[in-house]
Every structure is written in C-alpha cells, then in structure tokens.
Structure 1
Amino acid sequence: MNTSHLSNELEAFLEYISVTKALSQKSIEAYMSDLVSIEEELKKPLINLDTKNILSFLSRYTNKRTLNRKLSSVNAFLDFCYKSHFSEQKTKQKFAKIPKLLPKFLTYEEFKNSLKLIDRSSWLGLRDYALLMFLYASGTRISECLALELQDLEDDWLRISHAKGEKERIVPIAKVAIQAINEYIKEKPKDTLKVWINYKAEPLSRISAYKITQRYLGVSPHVLRHSYATALISGGADLRVVQELLGHSSLLTTQIYTHIQKQDLKNTVEACHPFA
C-alpha cells in the first residue's frame, strides 16, 4: 500500500493495525479504504475533522450496515489517536440503529402440506421425509442433525452430544419423527454409523441437507429450528424451557422469539376489543 499520501496519524494507525494488532490483510485494507476515502474527499487529515464533517460525509451511505462499518473504522482510528496522545479529546461516533430482523419460520400447516410433495416409495424419499420430520421435531442445528447416530436416540429422547460449545443436552422428540426415522433405517441400503447418508452411502453433507429443505420447503434447515421454537412459544411454552431445548447459552438469544407472544396479544386485541 502506498503510504506517501497519508497523514502522519493515519500512517501510524496503519502501522499499529499491521504490526501491533497483526490484523489480516483484508481487515487492514477495509480499515484504510474507509479512512483514506474520508481524508481524500474532505482534503483534511481525519484527526482535524470535527464530528459534523465526518457525519456529513458518511450520511451518503443509506445502508445502515455499511454506515456502521465505516463508523467502526472511524471510532477505531479516533480511539487509537486518543490513546497515542495525538488527540486530547476522546471521541466516539454513535452507530446507526438497525431494526432487528424477526426469524423466518414455517407454520405447521405450511410444513405439513409440503411433506405431501415427498415420494416415499424409495429409500431416498423416506430419508428426505425423516430428515424434515426430525429437524421440525427436535429444533437441532443442522450440524447437530448431521452428526446423529442411532445410539443418540433412546425411546422418545434425543441426546445431542455434538452441540455448539461442546454442551450435551437431552431433548424429547415426537414419536412420529422416531417412526419416520425407523422406516427410513429399514430401507437404508447400508448400515452406517451416521443416520443420514447420501446416495453413495456417505455421510450427508450440509449442502445436500440444504438442497433437501430447499426442494420441499423453500427454506434453509435453520428455518426449521426457528419453526420448532415458534411452535413451542405459540403453544405457551416457557421461554427458559425453549432456551434449554435449543441449547442457547443465554436467554437473550432465545428472546428473539418473544415477537410471537406479542403478535398473539395483538391478534387477541384486534379480534376482541371494541376499538379494533
């Protein structure tokens, strides 16, 4: 990178993130691209620009995620300048608020109707049906699902020992899902350690699992995890119980599903209140 045109402070920041912080080349280029563009456009060292100048320049970015990335670069640089005594003022620009995206999910009716598309006359069709049933009945991550071995299923319980963060959890699983798996296992052409296999009798890959859920449901496997949680919350399940079933380490992660409860309350008011 040509540093001859950089301000002294920006050149020092470049050395800091390259040598001291040892960031990746991609991260370094992202930082410098954001910061250099401001200096070049406004024809002033970034450290001499006030908040109004900076925000005025960044206001051209209507995409809030892009804006926040650039604000992050500016904040990192200004923090470096303050700690390096290039600046006496500790400045931090506020990030733009990004609305939380509600998790996409399928209703039970949508899920049930899509299962009718599966031809279960072949073992591959039985596998696809069992896989979708298992994902909807267990709420597992796709990595946990694909790691499934027969020994992990006992009666109506599923032991997930390959969970994120190496945490083991045990969750109940519906009999209809167990039945679908058993029917698939009976027709499975080869006895393998892993439950889910492809047509070559090799362990099913994440890409193949994605193609299966896309083919029949038009969604990714993770949407079935959201659908599982949404169905539980809609049915009145306690948030902490859902947290344990999903294997979330923090209740904050599970709280994204509280929108279901709020929507139920709204629907009730709209249906029952005279002002609705």
Structure 2
Amino acid sequence: MNTSQLSKELEAFLEYISVTRALNKKSISAYMGDLSSIEAEIEAPLINIDSNKLLDLLSKYTNKRTLNRKLSSVNAFFDFCYSNKFSLEKTKLKSAKIPKLLPKFLTYEQLMAGIKLCDTSTWIGLRDAALLYFLYASGVRISECLSVKKEDIDGEWLLVRHAKGDKERLVPIAKVALDALNKYLNEMPYEKDYLWCNYKGDKLSRISAFKITQKYLNVSPHVLRHSYATSLITGGADLRVVQELLGHASLTTTQIYTHVQKQHLSETIDVCHPFSKTKY
C-alpha cells in the first residue's frame, strides 16, 4: 500500500486501526482497500466528498453484501474523522437491506444416509461416523468440536470450554452419538487427551473435518450446526433454550430459525388441514 498517495485523514485512520485498535492485517487491508480506491477514483480527499456523490459512486456495486462492506468502511472512517475533529459533521450512510436467507440444513434421513457410507470396519471410518453423529447431536461449532477433550464429557453432558466469546456452556449429547464416539475411541490406536485425531495421531484440523463432512454429506460442518438447531425448532423447542444450547450471545441470532419453524408449520397445515384441499 502506497501511503504517500493517501490523504492525511486516511493516513491518520490507517494509524488508528493499525496501532490503537490493533486490527489484524486482513481487516486493515480490507478497510484501506475500500477507502483508498474511493480516494483514487474521486482524485480528492475522501473527507471532502458529498454524501450523494459518494452514494452514486458506490451504486455500481450491485452485490448488496459488497456494497454494505464498503459502506461499513466509509462509516468507520467518517466516525473516526468526527471523533478526532477532522470533520464537524457526523456522517452515517445507511446500509442496503439484504433479504434474510434461510440457513441450509440437512434432514435426519439425509444425515443417516451419509453416516451409512462410513466404512466402520476401520477406526478412521468409525471416527468419521462418530464426528457426524457428534456434530448433529451437539450443535457445536467445528472449532469447539475439535477442541473437546475426553475430560470435557461427563456422562451425557458436554462441557464446551472453548466457546465463542470464551463463554463455557453445557450441552446434552444423545446416547447414540456417545455410543458411536466410544466405538471410535476404543478402536483408535493412539492415547490422546483430545477426541479427534488424524491417521498420524495428530489433532484433527478444520480442513480435515471439512473434508469429512463434504465426503459423506456434501456440506460444511457448520451446516450440521444449522441442522441441529432446525431439528430442535421444528420439534417444538423453545427459542431461548436453543439460544443457550447454541451459545448465541443474542436471541436475534437464533431468530433466523423461526423462519424455518414458520415454513414447517405452513407445510404441516398444507398436508394435514382439510381446508388446504377445499375450494370455495
């Protein structure tokens, strides 16, 4: 990045996010890529641009997620300029509305069909089956799953220690998943503290876990987390209970699954209610 071509305000913002906020290189690069490209296009300091002109400039981004990322960068810059008295006016541009997408999920039947593909005559196959059972039975994030140690399982309960935001939580595990886990551990030729290992006995990596779920189910591990939540919601579980089980800090994050619940209820009415087939 050629900082000599940046305005003094943008140079100050670069120092702020690099030193004061200590953002990682990827985040810094994203911010400065968005902001410096705008300055280069208008051939003037970004702080001087009129809001309407800026919106016209950004209107070429038809992908709303891309547009919102750039708007977020611009708003962060304007907020910095206002806080540091580079600007007397507090400017905030509204983000574009993005329609909520229903999370992709698997049905129980799809999961079991994938598990049947595992070669359980080998300990690697047993591991793969156990991992699929475990992810669907617990709803944990893959990072949480791969950090689990044997001591974290007490009876039919899993203590999630390395949760997002460093918040521990207890999650019940179905007996069928524990049985699959025990079969795998009994056959695994290594003595390790952690549950999941590769053929060398090293801790299983995220990439390897992704390859496992892709191989049998053609999805990422996170889809099994969505599947877990969806099965609970459609089964009638309280939303706040699901929030606690998933480890969501906010109920708003969990509410995406209410769309799945509404869809499920609508389909139930279509199938079961006599009026769904009655003409007026």
TM-score interval for Structure 1 and Structure 2 normalised by the shorter chain: 0.7 to 0.9
The equivalent residue for 1:35 is 38
| Cα distance between partner residues in 2 of 1:84 and 1:94 | 22
What is the Cα deviation at residue 242 of structure 1? Answer: 1.0
What is the Cα deviation at residue 82 of structure 1? Answer: 5.1
TM-score (normalised: structure 2): 0.83
Q: Which runs of 5+ in 1 are unaligned?
A: none
Secondary structure of 1:96's counterpart equals: coil
Name the CA shift for 1:150/1:267 in 2 (closer, same or farther; >3 Å). same
Secondary structure of 2:97's counterpart equals: coil
Moved more, 62-71 or 209-218: 62-71
Contact map agreement 1:34 1:73 (CA 8 A) in 2: no
Question: Which whole-Å deviations, capped at 9, do the CAs of 1:108-136 have from their partners, x for residues lacking one?
Answer: 11111111111111111111111111111
Moved more, 73-82 or 156-165: 73-82
- Give 2:12's match in structure 1, choosing from 9, 16, 19: 16
Secondary structure of 2:171's counterpart equals: strand
Are residues 1:96 and 2:89 paired?
A: no
Contact map agreement 2:14 2:32 (CA 8 A) in 1: no
The equivalent residue for 2:188 is 188
| Cα distance between partner residues in 2 of 1:86 and 1:161 | 44
Moved more, 161-170 or 211-220: 161-170
- Amino acid in structure 2 at the alignment position of 1:29: M
Question: Which whole-Å deviations, capped at 9, do the CAs of 1:213-244 have from their partners, x for residues lacking one?
Answer: 11101111111111111111110011111111
1:120-159 correspondence to structure 2 within 5 Å: 120-159=120-159
TM-score (normalised: structure 1): 0.85
Question: Which whole-Å deviations, capped at 9, do the CAs of 1:28-77 have from their partners, x for residues lacking one?
Answer: 6324423314413xxx6655654433322222211112222333344345
Contact map agreement 1:17 1:28 (CA 8 A) in 2: no
Secondary structure of 2:260's counterpart equals: helix
Name the CA shift for 1:16/1:113 in 2 (closer, same or farther; >3 Å). same
The equivalent residue for 2:22 is none
| Cα distance between partner residues in 2 of 1:28 and 1:167 | 29
Give the total of aligned pairs.
268
Contact map agreement 1:229 1:257 (CA 8 A) in 2: yes
| Cα distance between partner residues in 1 of 2:13 and 2:226 | 39
What is the Cα deviation at residue 104 of structure 1? Answer: 1.3
| Cα distance between partner residues in 1 of 2:208 and 2:49 | 52
Q: Which runs of 5+ in 2 are unaligned?
A: 20-24
| Cα distance between partner residues in 1 of 2:194 and 2:250 | 30
What is the Cα deviation at residue 164 of structure 1? Answer: 2.5
| Cα distance between partner residues in 1 of 2:178 and 2:80 | 57
| Cα distance between partner residues in 1 of 2:142 and 2:33 | 32
The equivalent residue for 2:238 is 238
| Cα distance between partner residues in 2 of 1:203 and 1:234 | 35
1:215-230 correspondence to structure 2 within 5 Å: 215-230=215-230
Question: Which whole-Å deviations, capped at 9, do the CAs of 1:116-159 have from their partners, x for residues lacking one?
Answer: 11111111111111111111111112122222222222322222
Provide the aligned C-alpha RMSD in A.
Answer: 2.6
Which structure has the greater CA radius of gyration? 1
Contact map agreement 1:123 1:188 (CA 8 A) in 2: yes
| Cα distance between partner residues in 2 of 1:124 and 1:102 | 33
| Cα distance between partner residues in 2 of 1:193 and 1:106 | 31
| Cα distance between partner residues in 1 of 2:62 and 2:262 | 30
- Amino acid in structure 2 at the alignment position of 1:39: I
| Cα distance between partner residues in 2 of 1:85 and 1:143 | 42
Are residues 1:57 and 2:53 paired?
A: no
